[in-house]
Amino acid sequence: MKSYIFPGQGAQFVGMGLDLFEKSAQAQELFLQANEILGFAITDIMFEGTPEALKQTKVTQPAIFLHSVIKARVLGDGFQPAAVAGHSLGEFSALVANKTLSFEDGLRLVAQRAGAMQKACELNPGTMAAVLGLEDSIVEDTCKNIDGIVVAANYNCPGQLVISGELAAVNTACDVLKEAGARRALLLPVGGAFHSPLMEPAREQLAAAIANTTFNKPIAPIYQNVTASAVSNPDEIKENLMKQLTAPVRWTQTMQQMITDGTTDFYEVGPGKVLQGLLRKIDRTVNASAAEIEV
């Protein structure tokens, strides 16, 4: 059984999508349409901008979304998923790829998400840290016993859990986790405390936009970050998506559930190979590769 997975923030690189633009008329049309919808030439930044310009949240999120979604479109008849999933931002790419959302609506939501998250970061400053080499339960229990806000945010693979919250609380948690035997507990170069209660203002703003957007019946179920289970009901997909910004990304559990449900081959659609690397740490018995296109 074939499933397709879509990466999140951090997979961007200068030059992303240029090959698609140059070789596919369909891709070209979608990229130019995106420039109009966003109100700025994101293609200039993606294809030949600076790494700094590409790192801005308002650019990064739409850029990764566009690369993933347009690549899935260019796959054409080759894109026949039994199921889809996306890591954080990648969930929006997955929802356009499986036709729950239109290209235009998906892009507008991603642009609003990026703007709302940026505002929330300014309102409630925070950070994230990667914790390596500990059981999830130890990390979870440690976070519960720290003064201030710090929570488990990204379950990336066994032995790799990202925590998120207030700067002081995350720093304290890192110290305690190192004492508890973590191989590493290091702060990440991110703009804020994603997937934590500090994102509540962004969640409210995005939830209102999601509520006013049409969600269609998908062509294949999506395994969502919040539940790590297959969902096909548009209303249920909408509800889960509204919770995503303040809830953890249960990626390990999602991949394990997809494998239990019969997925044997995973294809990563978008920039980079991050998800393929995580999958190999989750279960080496399944195939993980990039979705290749012939244009």
Q: Express each pLDDT in 50-101 by its tens digit.
A: 999 998 888 999 999 999 999 999 998 889 999 999 999 999 999 999 999 9
149 and 248: one domain?
no
Residue 293: predicted pLDDT = 72
Domain end point (choices 153, 187, 221): 187
145 and 109: one domain?
no
24 and 150: one domain?
no
Name the average pLDDT for the chain.
Answer: 96
What is the tens place of the pLDDT at every residue in 99-147? 999 999 999 999 999 999 999 999 999 999 999 999 999 999 999 999 9
Q: Is 44 among the domain residues?
A: yes
The CATH number that applies at residue 138 is 3.30.70.250
What is the 8-class DSSP label of residue 249? Answer: B
The CATH number that applies at residue 117 is 3.40.366.10
Q: Are 46 and 66 in contact (CB under 8 A)?
A: yes
Catalytic residue among 87, 93, 164, 195: 195
What is the tens place of the pLDDT at every residue in 5-51? 999 988 899 999 999 999 999 999 999 999 999 999 999 999 999 99
Catalytic residue status for 88: yes
Residue 294: predicted pLDDT = 61
Q: Is 70 among the domain residues?
A: yes
What is the tens place of the pLDDT at every residue in 137-188? 999 999 999 999 999 999 999 999 999 999 999 999 999 999 999 999 999 9
Q: Give the contacts of 293 (CB within 8 A, at least 6 positions apart).
A: 20, 71, 74, 75, 78
pLDDT band with cut points at 50, 70 and 90 for residue 281: very high
For 76, half-sphere exposure in the C-beta direction (CA atoms, 13 angstrom radius) is 9
Distance CA 213, CA 243 (A): 16
Tokens encoding 56: 């801005």
DSSP 115-150: HHHHHHHHHS--EEEEEESS-HHHHHHHHHTSSS-E
CB atoms within 10 A of CB 114: 23
Residue 117: predicted pLDDT = 95
84 and 206: one domain?
yes
207 and 139: one domain?
no
Tokens encoding 1: 């059984």
Catalytic residue status for 102: no
Total domains in the chain come to 2
Q: Are 268 and 290 in contact (CB under 8 A)?
A: yes
98 and 28: one domain?
yes
Rg (alpha carbons) of the chain, rounded to whole number: 18
Q: Is 295 among the domain residues?
A: no
Residue 200: predicted pLDDT = 97
Summarize the confidence of residues 228-256 as an average pLDDT.
98
Check whether 222 has a pLDDT greater than 60: yes
pTM over 0.85: yes
Catalytic residue among 24, 88, 93, 196: 88
Residue 204: predicted pLDDT = 97
Distance CA 83, CA 219 (A): 9
118 and 157: one domain?
no
Q: Which domain holds residue 266?
A: 2-122+197-290
Task: Report how many helices (DSSP H) and strands (DSSP E) the chain contains, helices first.
Answer: 13, 10
Q: Is 151 among the domain residues?
A: yes
Residue 56: predicted pLDDT = 87
